[in-house]
Structure 1
Amino acid sequence: MTPKLVAGLEPPYYTAVFTSVRPDAPEGYAETSARMQELVREIPGLLGYESARTPGGIGITVGYFRDLEALDAWRLHAEHQAAKAHGRKHWYDSYSVHIGKVERSYGYERE
Protein backbone atom coordinates (compact mmCIF):
# COMPACT_ATOMS: atom_id res chain seq x y z
CA MET A 1 0.00 0.00 0.00
CA THR A 2 1.29 3.44 -0.92
CA PRO A 3 1.13 5.97 1.93
CA LYS A 4 -1.23 8.89 1.29
CA LEU A 5 -0.23 12.44 2.11
CA VAL A 6 -2.58 15.17 3.27
CA ALA A 7 -3.15 17.24 0.15
CA GLY A 8 -5.58 19.59 -1.47
CA LEU A 9 -6.04 21.94 1.49
CA GLU A 10 -7.24 25.47 0.88
CA PRO A 11 -5.12 28.02 2.80
CA PRO A 12 -5.05 29.61 5.19
CA TYR A 13 -4.89 26.85 7.78
CA TYR A 14 -2.62 25.99 10.70
CA THR A 15 -0.06 23.30 11.35
CA ALA A 16 1.21 21.83 14.57
CA VAL A 17 4.58 20.17 13.99
CA PHE A 18 5.62 17.81 16.80
CA THR A 19 9.17 16.49 16.55
CA SER A 20 10.43 14.06 19.18
CA VAL A 21 13.24 11.76 20.23
CA ARG A 22 12.29 8.60 22.11
CA PRO A 23 13.24 4.91 22.29
CA ASP A 24 11.75 2.74 19.53
CA ALA A 25 9.08 0.91 21.54
CA PRO A 26 8.47 2.26 25.03
CA GLU A 27 5.88 0.43 27.10
CA GLY A 28 2.34 1.71 26.53
CA TYR A 29 3.27 4.12 23.76
CA ALA A 30 1.55 2.31 20.88
CA GLU A 31 -1.76 2.13 22.75
CA THR A 32 -1.64 5.78 23.75
CA SER A 33 -0.70 6.82 20.22
CA ALA A 34 -3.64 4.88 18.78
CA ARG A 35 -5.97 6.53 21.31
CA MET A 36 -4.65 10.01 20.43
CA GLN A 37 -5.28 9.28 16.74
CA GLU A 38 -8.89 8.38 17.59
CA LEU A 39 -9.37 11.51 19.67
CA VAL A 40 -7.82 14.01 17.27
CA ARG A 41 -10.13 12.78 14.48
CA GLU A 42 -13.05 13.96 16.64
CA ILE A 43 -11.79 17.56 16.75
CA PRO A 44 -13.95 19.78 14.52
CA GLY A 45 -11.59 21.57 12.16
CA LEU A 46 -8.97 18.81 11.94
CA LEU A 47 -7.94 18.59 8.28
CA GLY A 48 -5.61 15.61 8.69
CA TYR A 49 -2.22 14.54 9.98
CA GLU A 50 0.94 12.72 8.90
CA SER A 51 3.57 10.92 10.97
CA ALA A 52 6.96 9.34 10.37
CA ARG A 53 9.70 7.86 12.56
CA THR A 54 13.31 6.96 11.86
CA PRO A 55 14.84 3.72 13.16
CA GLY A 56 17.03 5.90 15.39
CA GLY A 57 14.06 7.25 17.33
CA ILE A 58 13.39 10.64 15.73
CA GLY A 59 9.71 11.15 15.01
CA ILE A 60 7.66 13.88 13.43
CA THR A 61 3.92 14.38 13.34
CA VAL A 62 2.27 17.24 11.50
CA GLY A 63 -1.35 18.06 12.27
CA TYR A 64 -3.35 20.31 9.96
CA PHE A 65 -6.14 22.42 11.46
CA ARG A 66 -8.63 24.78 9.82
CA ASP A 67 -8.20 27.48 12.49
CA LEU A 68 -6.61 28.28 15.83
CA GLU A 69 -9.80 27.31 17.67
CA ALA A 70 -9.49 23.75 16.36
CA LEU A 71 -5.81 23.66 17.25
CA ASP A 72 -6.55 24.93 20.75
CA ALA A 73 -9.32 22.34 21.17
CA TRP A 74 -6.72 19.66 20.54
CA ARG A 75 -4.04 21.29 22.70
CA LEU A 76 -6.46 21.62 25.62
CA HIS A 77 -8.17 18.21 25.29
CA ALA A 78 -7.94 16.57 28.74
CA GLU A 79 -6.79 13.13 27.51
CA HIS A 80 -4.24 14.73 25.20
CA GLN A 81 -2.85 16.81 28.07
CA ALA A 82 -2.58 13.68 30.24
CA ALA A 83 -0.78 11.82 27.44
CA LYS A 84 1.66 14.73 27.01
CA ALA A 85 2.44 14.75 30.72
CA HIS A 86 2.95 10.98 30.73
CA GLY A 87 5.19 11.25 27.66
CA ARG A 88 7.41 13.86 29.29
CA LYS A 89 7.80 11.68 32.36
CA HIS A 90 8.20 8.26 30.70
CA TRP A 91 8.82 8.30 26.94
CA TYR A 92 10.46 11.35 25.40
CA ASP A 93 14.11 12.25 25.60
CA SER A 94 13.20 15.57 23.98
CA TYR A 95 10.57 17.15 21.77
CA SER A 96 9.66 20.43 20.11
CA VAL A 97 6.38 21.86 18.90
CA HIS A 98 6.07 24.44 16.13
CA ILE A 99 2.79 26.14 15.23
CA GLY A 100 2.48 27.80 11.85
CA LYS A 101 -0.02 29.49 9.61
CA VAL A 102 0.03 28.12 6.07
CA GLU A 103 -0.60 30.70 3.40
CA ARG A 104 0.37 28.66 0.36
CA SER A 105 0.03 24.94 -0.28
CA TYR A 106 0.60 22.73 -3.30
CA GLY A 107 1.54 19.17 -4.11
CA TYR A 108 2.11 16.51 -6.74
CA GLU A 109 0.91 12.96 -7.12
CA ARG A 110 1.90 10.54 -9.88
CA GLU A 111 -1.10 9.10 -11.68
Structure 2
Amino acid sequence: MLADTPEPPYYAVIFTSLMRDDSAGYAAMADKMLTLAQDQPGFLGVESAREEIGITVSYWADLEAIRAWKRDIDHREAQRLGRERWYAAYRTRIARVERDYGFDH
Protein backbone atom coordinates (compact mmCIF):
# COMPACT_ATOMS: atom_id res chain seq x y z
CA MET A 1 0.00 0.00 0.00
CA LEU A 2 1.23 3.49 -0.79
CA ALA A 3 1.50 6.01 2.03
CA ASP A 4 -1.16 8.72 2.03
CA THR A 5 1.06 11.79 2.39
CA PRO A 6 -0.02 15.43 2.58
CA GLU A 7 0.87 18.20 0.17
CA PRO A 8 4.63 18.89 0.22
CA PRO A 9 6.85 19.93 1.74
CA TYR A 10 7.44 17.06 4.15
CA TYR A 11 10.38 14.77 4.83
CA ALA A 12 11.34 11.24 3.82
CA VAL A 13 13.68 8.98 5.76
CA ILE A 14 15.06 6.39 3.34
CA PHE A 15 16.53 3.34 5.07
CA THR A 16 18.27 0.74 2.92
CA SER A 17 19.81 -2.43 4.33
CA LEU A 18 21.52 -5.69 3.56
CA MET A 19 20.56 -8.50 5.92
CA ARG A 20 22.86 -11.02 7.52
CA ASP A 21 22.02 -14.71 7.16
CA ASP A 22 20.49 -14.88 10.66
CA SER A 23 17.38 -12.69 10.82
CA ALA A 24 15.67 -14.40 13.77
CA GLY A 25 13.46 -11.90 15.55
CA TYR A 26 13.78 -9.26 12.85
CA ALA A 27 10.21 -9.41 11.51
CA ALA A 28 8.70 -9.07 14.99
CA MET A 29 10.93 -6.07 15.75
CA ALA A 30 10.08 -4.46 12.39
CA ASP A 31 6.36 -4.83 13.15
CA LYS A 32 6.86 -3.35 16.63
CA MET A 33 8.79 -0.37 15.21
CA LEU A 34 6.06 0.33 12.66
CA THR A 35 3.41 0.29 15.39
CA LEU A 36 5.47 2.63 17.57
CA ALA A 37 6.32 4.96 14.66
CA GLN A 38 2.64 5.30 13.78
CA ASP A 39 2.04 6.69 17.29
CA GLN A 40 4.78 9.35 16.97
CA PRO A 41 3.72 12.97 16.41
CA GLY A 42 4.61 14.00 12.87
CA PHE A 43 4.57 10.46 11.40
CA LEU A 44 2.85 10.53 8.01
CA GLY A 45 3.25 7.01 6.58
CA VAL A 46 5.63 4.31 5.39
CA GLU A 47 6.41 2.19 2.33
CA SER A 48 8.67 -0.85 2.47
CA ALA A 49 10.06 -3.58 0.20
CA ARG A 50 12.37 -6.48 1.07
CA GLU A 51 14.20 -8.50 -1.54
CA GLU A 52 17.95 -8.50 -2.19
CA ILE A 53 18.12 -5.23 -0.30
CA GLY A 54 15.56 -3.84 2.09
CA ILE A 55 14.18 -0.39 1.42
CA THR A 56 11.90 1.39 3.85
CA VAL A 57 10.79 4.97 3.32
CA SER A 58 9.02 6.67 6.19
CA TYR A 59 7.43 10.09 5.86
CA TRP A 60 7.52 12.80 8.51
CA ALA A 61 6.07 16.28 8.95
CA ASP A 62 9.37 17.90 9.93
CA LEU A 63 12.96 17.33 11.04
CA GLU A 64 12.07 17.55 14.74
CA ALA A 65 9.65 14.63 14.37
CA ILE A 66 12.48 12.61 12.78
CA ARG A 67 14.87 13.54 15.61
CA ALA A 68 12.28 12.56 18.22
CA TRP A 69 11.80 9.15 16.56
CA LYS A 70 15.56 8.61 16.44
CA ARG A 71 15.71 9.26 20.23
CA ASP A 72 12.82 6.92 21.09
CA ILE A 73 14.10 4.34 23.60
CA ASP A 74 12.53 1.33 21.87
CA HIS A 75 13.74 2.55 18.50
CA ARG A 76 17.27 2.97 19.91
CA GLU A 77 17.17 -0.66 21.08
CA ALA A 78 16.05 -1.80 17.62
CA GLN A 79 18.92 0.20 16.09
CA ARG A 80 21.40 -1.50 18.43
CA LEU A 81 20.06 -4.96 17.60
CA GLY A 82 20.13 -4.15 13.90
CA ARG A 83 23.81 -3.24 14.05
CA GLU A 84 24.70 -6.24 16.23
CA ARG A 85 22.48 -8.98 14.74
CA TRP A 86 20.53 -8.30 11.59
CA TYR A 87 22.28 -5.91 9.22
CA ALA A 88 25.40 -6.62 7.23
CA ALA A 89 25.20 -2.98 6.08
CA TYR A 90 22.71 -0.13 6.11
CA ARG A 91 22.34 3.49 5.07
CA THR A 92 19.91 6.17 6.26
CA ARG A 93 19.14 9.18 4.10
CA ILE A 94 16.90 12.10 4.98
CA ALA A 95 15.37 14.17 2.18
CA ARG A 96 12.89 17.02 1.92
CA VAL A 97 10.05 16.16 -0.45
CA GLU A 98 9.36 19.16 -2.69
CA ARG A 99 7.00 17.55 -5.20
CA ASP A 100 4.64 14.59 -4.96
CA TYR A 101 2.56 13.29 -7.86
CA GLY A 102 1.32 9.97 -9.13
CA PHE A 103 -1.54 7.83 -10.34
CA ASP A 104 -4.14 5.87 -8.37
CA HIS A 105 -6.66 3.41 -9.77
TM-score by length of 1: 0.88
Structure 2 portions without partners, runs of 5+: none
> How many residues are aligned here?
105
Matched, 1:95 2:71: no
Structure 2: how far apart are the matches of 1:16 and 1:108?
22
Of the three residues 33, 36, 46, the one matched with 2:33 is: 36
**After TM superposition, which residue ranges in structure 1, 4 or more long, deviate above 4 angstroms?**
none
Is the contact between residue 7 and residue 107 of structure 1 (CA under 8 Å) also seen in structure 2? no
TM-score by length of 2: 0.93
Structure 1 portions without partners, runs of 5+: none
Q: Shift in Å at residue 23 of structure 1?
A: 4.0
Is the contact between residue 7 and residue 106 of structure 1 (CA under 8 Å) also seen in structure 2? no
Q: Shift in Å at residue 25 of structure 1?
A: 6.3
Identity score, percent: 46
Structure 2: how far apart are the matches of 1:49 and 1:95?
18
Q: Shift in Å at residue 73 of structure 1?
A: 1.1
